[in-house]
Chain A
Amino acid sequence: DAGVIQSPRHEVTEMGQEVTLRCKPISGHNSLFWYRQTMMRGLELLIYFNNNVPIDDSGMPEDRFSAKMPNASFSTLKIQPSEPRDSAVYFCASSTAGGALYNEQFFGPGTRLTVL
Chain B
Amino acid sequence: RKEVEQDPGPFNVPEGATVAFNCTYSNSASQSFFWYRQDCRKEPKLLMSVYSSGNEDGRFTAQLNRASQYISLLIRDSKLSDSATYLCVVRVSSASKIIFGSGTRLSIRP
Q: Given A91-B43, A108-B43, A109-B42, A45–B32 Cβ distance below 8 Å?
A: no
* Residues of chain B from 46 to 60 with CB closer than 8 A to chain A in the complex: 46, 49
Interface residue from A42, A59, A91, A101 paired with B32 (Cβ < 8 Å): A101
Min CB gap B74→A, angstroms: 20
**Chain B residue at minimum C-beta to C-beta distance from A6:** B43
Interface size bracket, B side: 20 to 34
Q: Which of A98, A99, A107 contacts B44 (CB 8 A)?
A: A107
How large, as a class, is the contact surface on chain A?
A: 20 to 34
A42 to B102, CA, bound (A): 5
Nearest CB in chain B: distance from A50 CB, A: 9
On whether A43 and B32 interact (CB within 8 A), knowing A91-B43, A110-B43, the answer reads: no
Which one, A45, A98, A102, contacts B95 given CB within 8 A? Answer: A98
Indicate if the CB atoms of B87 and A43 lie closer than 8 Å: yes
Partner of B100, one of A42, A100, A102: A42
Contacts of B31 in A (CB 8 A): 101
Min distance, Cβ B11 to any Cβ of chain A, angstroms: 17
Tell me whether B93 and A101 are in contact (CB under 8 A): yes
- 1-59 of chain B: CB within 8 A of chain A: 31-32, 34, 42-46, 49
A101→B91 contact, CB < 8 A: yes
Shortest C-beta distance, B19 to chain A (Å), equals 21
With A43-B100, A48-B97 in contact, is A104–B46 under 8 Å at CB?
yes
CB contacts (< 8 Å) of B45 on chain A: these are 107
Query: Is A42 a contact partner of B46 (Cβ separation < 8 A)?
Result: no
Contact: B43 with A45, CB < 8 Å? no
Contact A105:B98 (CB < 8 A) given known A43-B44, A91-B43, A110-B43:
yes
Give chain B's interface residues, CB within 8 Å of chain A: 31-32, 34, 42-46, 49, 87, 91, 93-103
A-B contact pairs, 8 of them (CB 8 A): A42-B101, A42-B102, A43-B102, A56-B96, A56-B97, A91-B43, A91-B44, A101-B93
